[in-house]
Amino acid sequence: MWFTICCFNIQNTLLQLMKIFIKTLTGYQFEIECCPYEDPEQLKQRIEDKEGIKVECQRMICAGRSVYEGRTLAEFAVREGSTVHLVLRLRGA
């Protein structure tokens, strides 16, 4: 598992936190802070901590693309002010 300094809440002027919006299928929207170099799994954990939606039940979509582990949020074009759509993963899917 790889860690960035964002994982440890260490602030660095080169790695600024960004605010993004998470929107559910019901239209509920909330703001969350993250680092562009985080793995999407870290963002999912923040969502679970804030909203109680289990990581394994989350599926994220940004700019029409599925956001999955193994790449950074920046690689999925998640930027300051982006809206990430959160859908629930179906059991067995």
Map the chain to HEC letters: CCCCHHHHCCCECCECCEEEEEEECCCCEEEEEECCCCCHHHHHHHHHHHHCCCHHHEEEEECCEEECCCCCCHHHCCCCCCEEEEEECCCCC
Q: Judge whether 8 lies within some domain.
A: no
Residue 76's CATH number: 3.10.20.90
Domain residue limits at 77: 17-88
Q: Judge whether 71 lies within some domain.
A: yes
Domain count, the chain: 1
What confidence tens digit (pLDDT) does each residue in 22-53 have?
A: 999 899 999 999 999 999 999 999 999 999 99
Q: Judge whether 12 lies within some domain.
A: no
Q: Judge whether 6 lies within some domain.
A: no
Residue 8 has pLDDT above 80, yes or no: no
Q: Judge whether 4 lies within some domain.
A: no
Residue 60 has pLDDT above 80, yes or no: yes
CB 42 within 8 A of CB 34: yes
Whole-prediction pTM value? 0.78
